[in-house]
Structure formats: C-alpha cells, structure tokens
Amino acid sequence: MPFTCTRADDLPLIGNVFNNPLEIAKTIRNRENYNPDSGPEPCSYCIIQYEMMNLHTEGLIDEKEMRRIPSFKFPGVMDRIDEIGKNLISSGFVT
C-alpha cells in the first residue's frame, strides 16, 4: 500500500483520539500507509497553506494572492499572518 499523504482525502476515518486513544493508536501502528520508514517520494507539486504563508512572509506573494485561498478570506486572518510573519522576521527565523 502506498504512503498516504496527510494533506489528502484518502486517510481512513479512525475515530476521536480523546474517546478511544488506545484503539486509534493500534489502528495507526498496524497500517502500512502510516509507516514513516516507507520512504515515500515527495509530491512534485503540492502547495499547502503553510507554504503560502511562508511565501507571503518572504514577500513573494501579496495579500490579494493569499485571499484567493478561502480560509484566508476570513476577517482578521491576514492580520494575524502578518503579525506572525513580523515576529518571525524580528526573531531572525526569516530574513
């Protein structure tokens, strides 16, 4: 079985970890697609929201581009992203 991407929709529904953590842990341990040692090939093209935030923080895309992603359209989201970006820059994590 190929490795399952956590960003994809093909992960099985296994329940609520707060209600039955031992059964869920057993399910994850016994599935090949959860094996980090399987060495999956990384996707050749995958844009996730964290990468978009990085691009914005680095000044490579603007707020207009960011707002094309539905979850970034909510009021206050871009303000918070900008605040986090400024903190990353001032702390030296991003140059």
Residue 69 has pLDDT above 90, yes or no: no
Query: Greater confidence, 28 or 85?
Result: 85
Contact call for residues 11 and 4 (beta carbons, < 8 A): yes
Residue ranges per structural domain of the chain = 1-43, 49-91
Torsion sign across C-alpha atoms 44, 45, 46, 49: positive
Least confident of 6-15, 22-31, 44-53, 79-88: 6-15
3-state helix, strand, coil in the chain (%, to 5): 50, 0, 50
Q: Model pTM? A: 0.52
Average pLDDT over residues 53-65: 90
Residue 65 has pLDDT above 50, yes or no: yes
Residue 36 has pLDDT above 50, yes or no: yes
Which residues, 6 or more positions from 10, have their beta carbon under 8 angstroms from its beta carbon? Answer: 4
The first and second tokens of residue 71, run together, are 């979850």
